[in-house]
Amino acid sequence: MSVTVFVAGIHGAGKSTICRDLARLLGVFHATAGDLIRANANATTEVTVGVKAVPNVDANQLLLLSGLAVYRARNTGPLLLDGHFVLLKPDRAIAEIPVTVFEAIAPVAVLLVEADAVTIHSRLLERDKTAPPVATITDLAIQERAHAERGSDAN
């Protein structure tokens, strides 16, 4: 089985940028949870809606684990997997990803990437041309950190 390091953070925190740089420097593979989810979704699967909102968190996580299984069946090298401990639902509620998902990922390490809410808001506006309100980003970041502690303790 390939060794997985899980790099967490809310959208716009900088985790993909950090992972791309680390992957290049270390010669390891980098994938986003979203890449693995989209690779296993069919044409009718609604992965995200609106401002990074996820309509069916549990279904997305099943797609993530399926994608990770496919990756691991084909590769034995280390993987930097970037993703989330919490997601924003379309009704703006914050959904925790079940700890069982992180148990299945079985990372050897968890890194949490954080940035201040105003910076994240600016990054999302620049990158995606839309962003949740700063207050929502703040709430997401607080919950991401809290659930990261619980999720990483599970391994």
Cα dihedral 100, 102, 105, 108 sign: negative
This prediction has a pTM of: 0.90
Looking at the chain, list the stretches that DSSP marks H as alpha helix, in order from N- to C-terminal side.
Answer: 15-26, 33-40, 57-74, 99-105, 117-128, 134-153
Q: Which residue has the higher pLDDT, 2 or 27?
A: 27
Q: Lowest-pLDDT range, 6-20, 122-136, 141-155? A: 141-155
* Per-residue model confidence as pLDDT tens digits over 12-66: 999 999 999 999 999 999 999 989 988 887 755 555 545 578 888 898 999 999 9
Q: In the prediction, which pLDDT does 96 show? A: 94
Q: Looking at residue 36, which CATH number applies to its domain? A: 3.40.50.300
Q: Which of 48, 33, 13, 34 is nearest to 124 (CA)?
A: 13
Q: Residue 44: what pLDDT?
A: 56
Q: 49: domain range?
A: 4-153
Indicate the number of domains in the chain: 1
> For the CA atoms of 139, 140, 141, 143, what is the dihedral angle to 10 degrees?
90
* pLDDT above 70 (res 104): yes
- Please list, in sequence order, all residues whose beta carbon lies within 8 angstroms of the beta carbon of residue 37, skipping any fewer than 6 positions away: 47, 60, 63, 64, 67
Q: What's the whole-number average pLDDT of the chain? A: 89
